[in-house]
């Protein structure tokens, strides 16, 4: 982190009650964290610069105490005076004044101050204060988008046969379509954070769902393998918004204690959606006059129907974006007439859009390198997601080859994934009850009880499915194995969002983007080799092999539960960001209580 970037936080820490705590807990604001290593001289220079800035900021605080009370009263609700806005402050915080205002600040005899723009107490513009009906509607619409991205995966798999014949491609070439879809899903989140920072979440949703629709039409009209693969990777990039932003939206509008159920609904949509694809479209594939192209035409109609609810129901939830817009509006209406420049805290040290992309990618990669909790959870989730995709891709292979099922019968087998996801969703209520009872004792590790059970269940389910996938064994037994696998994957997937988010606070989006990249990359690799592995080892020993790997990785949540606090205490990111998140929520509660007492 440069002196300027660190000074921006220093200004806020010293001149107001915690700028860092106002940062969004789900998507980074593009402010570069300290990743580089410095030699002793550079470190000494940085520390000297910080000391100088601290003295200046302290002087500004002293000056702020003498701000005229009548002027303070004229400020719009939620706005407060900050430090003196002199040349040094502007240089260190990277605030850009509007045309003409820089000269006024330099020449005006009366000193100008920063006027911090925040939400008024109880403001309906604050996403935490949205009406319950609005929160419910936004959660459902966002989960539907997530559900459609899952439907996409399974629908592509069930349409292999007719697509291979129409495009004259091999089974491996057809499977590349799902592989590149997942690569798009893994890479795009690294770009989503600065995109939503620049334009807000709402417009990112709108643009993404329209792009997702266009890529479905492109796929339905494709006449060769290259066009099909291009459409698939672009579908993955557009659809990744449903994985990246939905978790952030939920965290924007719900306090941590209330995020369990909405995140579980999101997880159910992601996992069960992959089963609804084959379940719904097996009938289209088996109808000779429809087949694979109509699988995509019908999905295009479903996505087009979602555009209207997204435009009407989704609202901007990203706090820094909302406050920057309010600050811009106040600057336009009032200029410097109130003795200062209206400024949102997220404008301090804000970098350009392209620098934000570079910072976000670097931060995500660095987190994987230096944060052991994130790294091992990402690997564990990658295995779980790979097994899920192995089920989605391989069920047709197993049940057609082993039991002679038809396409429609195979489609019905995918109901087992829905049943498993439903059981996983039901167990979330138990996990939430345990969390509320144990959080004061175990801290955020109280989120890990169901993942600990799920890790062992995944290993058991894989071995069960492998050992029962034989012609001599009734088909219902491998179906039970699938239910165990999916019910076990659910809490693993859920923990990867909630636990990681609570570990990394305002940089949760970078942490989630990192685990998403690992998870989807592993899943894509699984898709490439799983059918060949079935050919070489048979489904029986393939699944037993992955069951043994799952058993080894099931130790991850147990280690995190026992040693998580010590590991986080050694992390220069996690311990500070968790404190930031907790203080932010505490301020919201105190403000609400003060408002009620005032009434």
Read off the pLDDT of residues 110-136 as tens digits, 9 standing for 90 and up. 567 888 999 988 888 999 999 999 999
Read off the pLDDT of residues 494-518 as tens digits, 9 standing for 90 and up. 887 888 877 776 667 678 778 888 8
Give the DSSP letter string of 444-463.
GGGGGHHHHHHHHHHHHHHH
Question: What pLDDT is stored for residue 221 in this prediction?
Answer: 95
Give the residue extent of every domain in the chain: 118-317, 370-569
For the segment 466-493, the average pLDDT, to the nearest whole number, is: 93
Query: End-to-end CA distance of the chain, in Å?
Result: 44
How many CA atoms lie within 13 Å of 159's alpha carbon, on the beta-carbon side?
29
Q: What does each C-alpha distance from 257 to 261, 502, 542 come to in angstroms?
A: 10, 11, 40
| Coil/strand/helix, residue 192 | helix
Selected residue with higher pLDDT from 89 and 59: 89
Task: Give me the chain's average pLDDT, please.
Answer: 80
Structure tokens at 363: 């931060």
Question: What pLDDT is stored for residue 348 in this prediction?
Answer: 82
For the segment 250-267, the average pLDDT, to the nearest whole number, is: 86
Question: What pLDDT is stored for residue 229 in this prediction?
Answer: 95
For the segment 239-251, the average pLDDT, to the nearest whole number, is: 83
Read off the pLDDT of residues 286-309 as tens digits, 9 standing for 90 and up. 898 888 999 999 999 999 999 999
Tell me which residue has tokens 């606090």: 565
Question: What pLDDT is stored for residue 459 in this prediction?
Answer: 95
- Asked if 118-317 and 370-569 have one fold, the answer is yes
Question: What pLDDT is stored for residue 596 in this prediction?
Answer: 63
Question: What pLDDT is stored for residue 251 in this prediction?
Answer: 80
Lowest mean pLDDT among 242-246, 320-324, 339-343, 552-556: 242-246
For the segment 323-343, the average pLDDT, to the nearest whole number, is: 88
Check whether 483 has a pLDDT greater than 80. yes
Q: Judging by DSSP bridges, how do beta strands 79-84 and 113-117 pair with one another? A: antiparallel
Question: What pLDDT is stored for residue 520 in this prediction?
Answer: 86
Question: What pLDDT is stored for residue 105 in this prediction?
Answer: 52
Question: Which residue(s) pair with 185 in the sheet?
Answer: none
44-53 long-range Cβ contacts below 8 angstroms, 24+ apart: 45/3, 46/3, 46/6, 49/3, 49/6, 49/7, 50/3, 50/6, 50/7, 50/10, 53/3, 53/7, 53/10, 53/11, 53/92
Give 350's contacts (C-beta < 8 A, 6+ positions apart): 29, 30, 31, 94
| Coil/strand/helix, residue 81 | strand
Check whether 281 has a pLDDT greater than 90. yes
Percent of the chain past pLDDT 70, that is, above it, reads: 79
| 141 within 8 A of 310, measured Cβ to Cβ | yes
pLDDT band at 580 (very low <50, low <70, confident <90, very high): low
pLDDT band at 366 (very low <50, low <70, confident <90, very high): confident
Check whether 57 has a pLDDT greater than 70. no
Read off the pLDDT of residues 518-529 as tens digits, 9 standing for 90 and up. 888 888 888 888
CATH number, span 118-317: 1.20.1250.20
Selected residue with higher pLDDT from 584 and 518: 518
Question: What pLDDT is stored for residue 482 in this prediction?
Answer: 94
Question: What pLDDT is stored for residue 448 in this prediction?
Answer: 92
Read off the pLDDT of residues 63-72 as tens digits, 9 standing for 90 and up. 444 454 445 4
Read off the pLDDT of residues 420-435 as tens digits, 9 standing for 90 and up. 999 999 998 999 899 8
pLDDT band at 369 (very low <50, low <70, confident <90, very high): confident
Check whether 255 has a pLDDT greater than 90. no
Question: What pLDDT is stored for residue 407 in this prediction?
Answer: 87
pLDDT band at 582 (very low <50, low <70, confident <90, very high): low
Architecture of the 370-569 domain: Up-down Bundle (1.20)
Read off the pLDDT of residues 193-232 as tens digits, 9 standing for 90 and up. 667 767 788 989 999 999 999 999 999 999 999 999 999 9
Read off the pLDDT of residues 176-201 as tens digits, 9 standing for 90 and up. 998 899 888 888 887 776 677 677 88
Q: How far is Cα 447 from Cα 452, in angstroms, rounded to an integer?
A: 10
For the segment 380-402, the average pLDDT, to the nearest whole number, is: 87
């Amino acid at each position: 982190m440069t002196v300027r970037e660190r000074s921006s936080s220093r200004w806020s820490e010293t001149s107001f009650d915690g700028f860092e705590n106002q940062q969004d807990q789900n998507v980074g604001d593009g402010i570069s964290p300290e990743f580089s290593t410095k030699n002793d001289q550079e470190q000494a220079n940085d520390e000297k610069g910080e000391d100088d800035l601290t003295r200046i900021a302290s002087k500004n605080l002293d000056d702020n105490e003498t701000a005229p009370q009548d002027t303070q009263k004229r400020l719009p609700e939620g706005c407060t005076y900050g430090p003196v806005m002199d040349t040094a402050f502007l240089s260190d915080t990277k605030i850009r004044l509007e045309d003409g205002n820089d000269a006024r600040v330099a020449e005006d005899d009366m000193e100008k101050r920063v006027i911090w723009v925040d939400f008024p107490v109880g403001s309906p513009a604050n996403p935490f204060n949205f009406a319950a009906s609005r929160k419910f509607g936004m959660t459902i619409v966002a989960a539907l988008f997530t559900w459609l991205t899952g439907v996409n995966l399974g629908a592509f798999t069930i349409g292999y046969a007719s697509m291979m014949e129409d495009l004259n491609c091999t089974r491996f070439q057809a499977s590349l379509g799902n592989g590149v879809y997942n690569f798009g899903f893994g890479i795009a989140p690294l770009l989503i954070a600065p995109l939503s920072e620049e334009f807000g979440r709402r417009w990112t949703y709108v643009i993404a769902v329209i792009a997702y629709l266009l890529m479905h039409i492109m796929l339905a009209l494709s006449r060769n393998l290259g066009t099909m693969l291009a459409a698939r990777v672009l579908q993955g990039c557009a659809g990744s918004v449903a994985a990246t932003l939905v978790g952030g939206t939920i965290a924007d509008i719900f306090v941590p204690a209330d995020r369990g159920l909405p995140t579980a609904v999101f997880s159910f949509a992601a996992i069960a959606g992959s089963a609804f694809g084959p379940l719904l479209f097996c009938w289209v594939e088996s109808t000779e006059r429809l087949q694979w192209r109509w699988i995509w035409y019908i999905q295009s109609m479903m996505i087009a129907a979602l555009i209207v609810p997204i435009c009407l129901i989704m609202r901007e939830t990203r706090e820094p974006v909302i406050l920057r817009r309010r600050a811009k509006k106040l600057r336009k209406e009032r200029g410097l007439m109130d003795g200062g420049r209206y400024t949102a805290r997220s404008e301090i040290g804000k970098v350009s859009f392209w620098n934000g992309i570079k910072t976000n990618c670097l931060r995500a990669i660095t987190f994987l390198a230096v944060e052991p909790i994130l790294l091992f959870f990402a690997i564990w989730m990658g295995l779980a997601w790979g097994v899920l995709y192995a089920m989605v891709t391989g069920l047709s292979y197993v049940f057609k080859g082993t039991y002679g099922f038809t396409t429609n019968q195979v489609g019905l087998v995918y109901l087992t994934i829905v049943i498993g996801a439903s059981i996983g969703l039901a167990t979330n209520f138990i996990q939430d009850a345990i969390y509320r009872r144990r959080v004061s004792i175990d801290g955020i590790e109280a989120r890990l009880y169901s993942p600990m059970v799920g890790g062992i269940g995944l290993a058991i389910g894989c071995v069960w499915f492998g050992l029962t996938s034989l012609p001599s064994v009734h088909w219902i037994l491998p179906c039970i194995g699938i239910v165990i696998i999916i019910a076990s994957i659910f809490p693993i997937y859920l923990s990867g969002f909630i636990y990681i988010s609570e570990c990394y606070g305002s940089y949760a989006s970078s942490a989630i983007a990192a685990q998403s990249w690992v998870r989807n990359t592993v899943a894509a690799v699984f898709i490439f080799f799983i059918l060949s592995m079935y050919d070489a080892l048979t489904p029986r020993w393939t699944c037993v092999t992955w069951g043994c790997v799952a058993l080894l990785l099931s130790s991850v949540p147990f280690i995190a539960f026992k040693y998580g606090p010590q590991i986080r205490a050694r992390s220069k990111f996690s311990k500070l960001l968790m404190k930031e998140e907790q203080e932010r929520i505490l301020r919201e509660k105190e403000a609400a209580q003060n408002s009620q007492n005032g009434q």
